[in-house]
Amino acid sequence: MPAACVVGLQWGDEAKGKLVDLLAPDHDCVVRYQGGANAGHTVVCGSEVYKLHHVPSGILHAQVQNFITPGVVIEPTTLISELTRLEERGIDPRRNLTISERAHLVMPWHLLEDELMNRLVVHGENIGTTLRGIGPCYRDKVGRNFAMRTVDLLASDLRERIASIVEAKKKLLNGMGGEELQRKLCADEIFEMAQAWSQQLAPLIGDTTNRLLDELDAGKRLLMEGAQGSLLDIDHGTFPFVTSSNSSGVGISSGSGVPAKWLKRVIGVAKAYSTRVGGGPFPTELSCDVGQKIRDLGHEYGTTTGRPRRCGWFDAVAVRYTARLGGVDSLALMMMDVLAHFEEINVCVAYEIDGQRTNQFPCEASALRRAIPIYETHRGWQQDVTGARHMDDLPELAHRYLARVSELVGVPIGVVSVGPDREQTIFTDRKKLTTLVA
């Protein structure tokens, strides 16, 4: 049996965690395949709110196996505190979580490098990373010499390995103007820390690649959980204002080891408006009261960093691009309740760049910065929809908005979310969405 995928279609924070938690019971395994502690997936269950950074959003379901696969970068201190917080709330993540031995580790030097690099301005703007060491860790993975993987925590030469990397990193940080930062690196302290990580994590570390292939051969159903959003994809996003992994659908096979032939359904998740955290172009951004109103109503503050998110209207040019890129066949439109408070709602249907109208998403950040959104204005439904449980419960104007967004993006609506709770979700056809044909 094959796999379904949940992929963010904007700049992250599309409420993928909520959807994965909801769909998890229809699957046997939930798989995180890229990103790291930069992600903040929120799952709301009644009065309980769970904020997950590494742990897959299927963890609340005891019968579902959860996997953190090779494409993820793990910051062990954050992961361990995440596990502890779950344990304190009566959930035992150790019963159903496996971490790939191939996943790379975000080490203390990566956090320092992120801090140092983040001071730099690129293309006139700061990338504004989450400071979780993501870029430096992926850089070392690709560079190979200074990389550490979870399997290394179990190696007999762990002390020597750490000592040699610390020596090199001190020189590098020094050379890059980070004299004060390199002084924070002490090989002995890091080794002791790594030993403690090893004790905590060793029972969870295993070969997720073969495990997942075995699960597929045994007819099990997988749910692949993307982190960040497709517009932050290192290859296809708004480079250089992106994250360092393939956060669009193209990262699923490389990050998890699951061959593309198994990926049968892609659910693209987008908010009914747009948000972005950190630097980079954002054509439909509203730097005015309307943007602030969206921020307040949508509680648009980062789960990981607490930073206020930049808010704007739905950008159909961008989402059509990412939906095509991801091979999306069903659209989940989230936060429809937030738009209930607006008399008029704009949707960006095209850009004007240097006097030319286009509906192609440009490759260059500078071109996107020059893009003037061309809007279509819709009448708001101005009616509380938080209690809607079926499509029929939604007002006519909300239906019209959904239909137009679906038409512009080129993908049918599969899910509509009207609030943070599990219950506040409408499936247009749940059976169809969760039935996977091999």
Token pair 């809607």: residue: 388
When asked if residue 232 is in the footprint of ligand IMP (CB under 6 A), the reply is yes
Nearer to ligand IMP, 39 or 64 (CB): 39
Are the C-beta atoms of 224 and 301 separated by less than 8 Å?
no
Secondary structure (3-state) at 48: strand
Residues within window 105-164 making contact with ligand IMP, judged by CB under 6 A = 127-130, 132, 134-135
Nearer to ligand IMP, 51 or 159 (CB): 51
DSSP H/E element including 87: helix 76-88
Q: Which stretch binds ligand IMP (CB under 6 A): 169-177, 240-248, 292-300, 392-400?
A: 240-248
DSSP string, 115-148: HHHTTS-BTTB-----SSSHHHHHHHHHH-TT--
- Min dist CB 53 to ligand IMP, Å, is 9
When asked if residue 277 is in the footprint of ligand IMP (CB under 6 A), the reply is yes
Residue nearest to ligand IMP as judged by C-beta position: 278
Nearer to ligand IMP, 86 or 127 (CB): 127
When asked if residue 228 is in the footprint of ligand IMP (CB under 6 A), the reply is yes
Nearer to ligand IMP, 287 or 383 (CB): 287
Secondary structure (3-state) at 277: coil
When asked if residue 17 is in the footprint of ligand IMP (CB under 6 A), the reply is no
- Min dist CB 278 to ligand IMP, Å, is 2
When asked if residue 12 is in the footprint of ligand IMP (CB under 6 A), the reply is yes
Catalytic machinery residues: 13, 41
Closest by CA position to 130, among listed 247, 31, 223, 33: 247
Beta-ladder partners of 268: 7, 331
When asked if residue 38 is in the footprint of ligand IMP (CB under 6 A), the reply is yes
Alpha carbon distances (Å) from 239 to 20, 226, 232, 243? 27, 19, 8, 9
DSSP string, 178-200: -HHHHTT--HHHHHHHHHHHHHH
- Min dist CB 412 to ligand IMP, Å, is 26
Binding footprint of ligand IMP on the chain (CB under 6 A): 11-13, 38-40, 127-130, 132, 134-135, 227-228, 232, 241, 243-244, 277-279
